[in-house]
Structure 1
């Protein structure tokens, strides 16, 4: 992969999961794996699930490092069996750590979306990505040590790749552990899910979020409550919001909604133009996601009788309460959210002009706001 090709298993602006020193806020998942390991119930396949950006990939790399650096329990050595490990931590100076950070550990294979013949990142993991594991198993079997495979993410496998991986789960090579990262496990083959043990990772609370962001060297200048509300416990989401100006985008979106039903068309046009700037594809995708969030929070406000807290932007609660003040309006906004999400994703799929798509979406929201009064 060239230096200009983004890594599919790394959040923009954040360190790669293999370089993350500490996994914050996921003690339960780490302890569940350790308990299985210390009880000699180490399953050959593990499915790491949970929202994007909560530490699934970091946990996978920590488990891989732990397994490759920890002698098997049947290797008692000269002084008998060592005490069972109480943590997944491995010394930063350990040779395994150095080799993993350098991408040179022969006992570890990481499967992600690969680059095609034109040098572009594929949209899915293809069967050849999985088949190359055959060579990995053949080359790494000579030393008789453990082998670990990380698939990030398993959701991105096409049908042929998924079937090829299923065969490995059904007949796993000796001393091999497969770690499958999944944001949406319902998209996986049921037979893949049934052959893995699941580790569920939860969204981070605000304190853990702040600690995790500090570890990524991402600076947050105020608005921590707004960030916590929009990121939904995901460090990956928080880093993306900060790096792409997501807090400012959402604040402007709420300000525009605050002008409804008499839409401030000039502000709406200016917002749409931010999605049409050169190289703004990521910001365009983020803006569509923020529209989804705003509509969901509108529906939640009407359903519960109160705006969600903390606010995700200044004056958000007042705007949401005015536009969605009853269960009837909540149902209406929920239907609208599904409709607009389908419209925007279709528009992306057929490459509609980003500014036109955003403006059309805002006008549709204006129309609906007028009908729901």
Structure 2
């Protein structure tokens, strides 16, 4: 398989990713806070999906867990949060086997299907994690990836421990939509907002992940369509995702008019089990709707009903897309449903 064909699955888990492209200012803020000896116990790391938020969180976790004394010379003299991959802590974290790190993320249910939320039972693991003294001494780090996926009970359980944080605890909460995070959780966190990657950083990250040359024409085309997200660029490079996104964009541009033949063709292009293609389709819809909600017409008040309908439809589309992915449902009904709802909302 060529690097281009493998690109859709080329992204390593952030715990195994040691290079950080961009975000030097955010990295500097974390390092400076740790060096001060008065680091806030909780950070809300926000920004668009696929730009390196989790990579930065794991980078910080490696640094703190391998350099436990903020006053040590190696911390005070450090210019970045980089930790060599050969260090014991780095190897343990990459293997998911470090006793000082707890990650809360969606897990598989008893049927082997990825849950749509992080459950309250999983979140309550933080109580035993921070209450235990047997595994490791010193700092303990909890990464929540993502806080957007906490169900209401899980969010409240997390809030309780954030309100009375244990000594030497560090919470790194990742969010694709930080403004939607529970206000009471936001108030307990230092906010760190990351911007989409600059083109040079994005191309560098994607080239490293795929083995493609920095001047590869298709890599540049995917980067131009990715809006600063390396994950999106890699997804577009995988298979025919870039063409699929362009086909979706053409149908969106024609709304509220829809062409059933084109919808059938798009449904066929999505296949029956290609998760990369489905992700590219959903991503195109998300960005199209988000752009219209962010930049309404000049007479915003007159368009409030239409914008409200569009926002409501967006929520329905997100749920339908999650169900289609999680339960591996047929793609064509999703395509017709999505464009039917969008056509109605934009009339």
TM-score range, shorter chain: 0.7 to 0.9
Q: Counterpart of 1:216 in 2: which secondary structure?
A: helix
Report the Cα distance in structure 2 between the residues aligned to 1:349 and 1:103, rounded to whole angstroms: 26
Are 2:146 and 2:173, in contact at CA under 8 Å, matched by a contact in 1?
A: yes
Number of positions where the alignment pairs a residue of Structure 1 with one of Structure 2: 330
Give matches, 1:342-361, under 5 Å.
344-345=317-318, 354-359=331-336
Are 1:114 and 1:129, in contact at CA under 8 Å, matched by a contact in 2?
A: no
Report the Cα distance in structure 2 between the residues aligned to 1:251 and 1:349, rounded to whole angstroms: 22
Report the Cα distance in structure 2 between the residues aligned to 1:299 and 1:186, rounded to whole angstroms: 15
Give matches, 1:195-206, under 5 Å.
195-206=188-199
Give matches, 1:186-201, under 5 Å.
186-201=179-194
Cα offset for 1:35?
1.4
- Identify the residue that residue 155 of structure 1 maps to in structure 2: 148
Question: Are 1:46 and 2:39 an aligned pair?
Answer: no
1:346–1:83 Cα change, 3 Å: closer
Report the Cα distance in structure 1 between the residues aligned to 2:133 and 2:208, rounded to whole angstroms: 33
- Identify the residue that residue 134 of structure 1 maps to in structure 2: 127
Deviations 1:275-332 (A, max 9, x none): 4x3214653453243245457779999979xxxxxxxxxxxxxxxxxxxxxx99xx79
Are 2:21 and 2:204, in contact at CA under 8 Å, matched by a contact in 1?
A: yes
Q: Counterpart of 2:148 in 1: which secondary structure?
A: helix
Q: TM-score, normalised by structure 2?
A: 0.79
Report the Cα distance in structure 2 between the residues aligned to 1:203 and 1:90, rounded to whole angstroms: 24
1:366–1:136 Cα change, 3 Å: closer
Report the Cα distance in structure 2 between the residues aligned to 1:181 and 1:299, rounded to whole angstroms: 23
- Identify the residue that residue 8 of structure 1 maps to in structure 2: none
Moved more, 24-33 or 168-177: 168-177
Report the Cα distance in structure 2 between the residues aligned to 1:339 and 1:65, rounded to whole angstroms: 40
Moved more, 106-115 or 290-299: 290-299
1:224–1:302 Cα change, 3 Å: farther
1:274–1:107 Cα change, 3 Å: same
- Identify the residue that residue 21 of structure 1 maps to in structure 2: 18
The structure with the larger Rg is 1
1:303–1:206 Cα change, 3 Å: farther
Are 1:24 and 1:212, in contact at CA under 8 Å, matched by a contact in 2?
A: yes
Are 1:274 and 1:280, in contact at CA under 8 Å, matched by a contact in 2?
A: no
Deviations 1:69-113 (A, max 9, x none): 113135x6xxx8974422211122211111111222111111111
Higher relative contact order structure (alpha carbons within 8 Å, sequence separation ≥ 6):
2
- Identify the residue that residue 283 of structure 2 maps to in structure 1: 289
Are 2:68 and 2:138, in contact at CA under 8 Å, matched by a contact in 1?
A: no
Report the Cα distance in structure 1 between the residues aligned to 2:130 and 2:343, rounded to whole angstroms: 58
Cα offset for 1:189?
1.6
Report the Cα distance in structure 1 between the residues aligned to 2:344 and 2:107, rounded to whole angstroms: 43
Report the Cα distance in structure 2 between the residues aligned to 1:155 and 1:260, rounded to whole angstroms: 30
Are 1:110 and 1:150, in contact at CA under 8 Å, matched by a contact in 2?
A: yes
Q: CA RMSD in A?
A: 3.7
More helix by share: 2
- Identify the residue that residue 90 of structure 1 maps to in structure 2: 83
From 273, 277, 283, give the equivalent of 1:279: 273
Report the Cα distance in structure 2 between the residues aligned to 1:158 and 1:260, rounded to whole angstroms: 34
Give matches, 1:135-284, under 5 Å.
135-140=128-133, 143-217=136-210, 219=212, 222-243=217-238, 245-254=240-249, 266-275=261-270, 277-280=271-274, 283-284=277-278
1:362–1:138 Cα change, 3 Å: closer
- Identify the residue that residue 115 of structure 2 maps to in structure 1: 122
1:263–1:197 Cα change, 3 Å: closer
Report the Cα distance in structure 2 between the residues aligned to 1:82 and 1:346, rounded to whole angstroms: 45
1:173–1:239 Cα change, 3 Å: same
